[in-house]
Structure formats: C-alpha cells, structure tokens
Amino acid sequence: MNSFKKIIVLSCLLILSQQNLRAQRFILNLPDHDQKKYYFGLTFGLNFATYQVSYTSSFVNTDTFTRILPSWSPGFNLGLMGNLKLTKFIDLRLVPSLSFSEKRLDFNKIGYDTIVTKSIESIYVHIPLQLKFKSERIRNFRFYVLLGGKYDYDMAANARSKRNDEYIKVKPNDLGYEFGMGFEFYNPNFIFAPEIKLSQGLMNQIYKDKNIPLTNAIDQLNTRSIIISIHLQG
C-alpha cells in the first residue's frame, strides 16, 4: 500500500514538473506587435472564380442555345496589405492586389451535341477595404473574421472589342462585398495568417451587343469567387 502511494506521489510530481518545464519553454513571439497603430504585409493565394447567370425572358424560346451554364476555374492573387488599428479588437485593412482569374461558360447550340466552353480570362486590379474583427490573443495565436467592400477593374475586359468572333463581351468595372475568416500565428519575426473569403460582385458584367447571340440570351452576369490567401504580416 505504501509503495502504491509513493508511485502516485512520484507520478504527480513528474506531471507537475513537465508542465512547469513546458511553461518555462514557452516564448511569446512579437510581444509588442499588438501595440502597433499600423503595419504592412504581403499576400498571395489561390482564387476559384465563376459567374452567376440570369437569363433573359426570351432564352426559353431562343433558336440558338439549349443551355448556358457557368463553371468554376482556378487563378491566383498577389498583393500588398496595410492594416490600421481602430480598437483593441477591430482593424481597418486595405489589400490592393492583382488577381489573375478565369471564368467559364459551357453552352450547347441547337442542332449540336457537343458542349462548347468559352473561357473569359481576367486580370483584375482588386482593391478590397475590410473591417477585421479579432479575438483575444491566445499565446501566439488569434482568430478573426472580416467583412467589407471591394472595387475591381478588369484590365482584360473586351467590352470595346471590335472583333466579330467574340462569344461574349464583359465590362471592366465591378463593385461588391466580401466576408471571410482567418487565423494569425505569431512567429519570432512575422505573423503567418491563412485566410479564406467569399467575394461577390454586384454589378452586371454583361455588355450587350445585338450581334452576339450569347449575350442576348443572358440578362445578368455577376462575378463570384472563393479566395484562399496567405498573409505575411510585419
């Protein structure tokens, strides 16, 4: 019985000593970072983009197409970040970037069995302005959610194209909203922050051209993308 008590006492002492050793080993990285009024960073990531399509009332009776369906396509983003501290738990963030994306429309022409895919390639100047709502810092970790608006300018938009072989024409300007979530991991020299967000365009991107049957079948064309980013914050 005495031996059993000794084993319990020794086990408790061993556990306590290990916990104390772990506590001594813990280092709080960037202890003064949260006191900064502002800071900057780099961002890069993947995007998956598509269109939301609304059809004209005459689409059902069209003699050209049997269906028009959007599909998702991958791309990538590169940019900078500026972060301004408003309160202990709220930041204002600007993340200007270049977004290289592709969106696809699959359609069937009447009288043909094959599906035709039209790819719309875009190079956006992407300017989102966001409010970032942060949790309390837990050692070297923090969680946050974000909400904001965006302006996009598509440098590859073909609305002014004079070519006769265009399947569809899109406008260059877009406004929209974004929301998402992310995590911040404090390292000795920087903050590593993976993030995911949904970006929804609000402006109709379709450019009406009576000489292009596909655009005459579409009433509304809005952008939508899912963006998975990595932020490196100083």
Coil, helix or strand for 142? strand
Domain regions of the chain by residue span: 30-233
- Which of 9-13, 29-33, 146-150, 169-173 reaches the highest mean pLDDT? 146-150
Task: Return the higher-pLDDT residue of 15 and 122.
Answer: 122
- Write down the pLDDT at residue 175: 98
The CA distances from residue 107 to 103, 104, 226, in Å, are 13, 10, 23
The reported pLDDT for the residue numbered 146 is 98
On the CB side of 136, CA atoms within 13 Å amount to 2
Q: Is the pLDDT of residue 191 over 60?
A: yes
Tell me how far apart the alpha carbons of residues 60 and 39 are, in angstroms, rounded to a whole number. 54
pLDDT band at 108 (very low <50, low <70, confident <90, very high): confident
What pLDDT is recorded for position 109?
A: 73
Task: List, for residues 68-96, the tens digit of each pLDDT value.
Answer: 889 999 999 999 999 999 999 999 999 99
Structure confidence at residue 147 (pLDDT) = 98
- The pLDDT assigned to 15 comes to 47
Mean confidence (pLDDT) of the chain: 87
pLDDT band at 5 (very low <50, low <70, confident <90, very high): low
**Per CATH, which fold does 30-233 belong to?**
Porin (2.40.160)
pLDDT score, position 193: 98
Task: Pick the closest to residue 43 from 78, 5, 83 (CA basis).
Answer: 78
Q: What is the pLDDT of residue 63?
A: 57
What mean pLDDT comes out for the span 12-35? Answer: 68
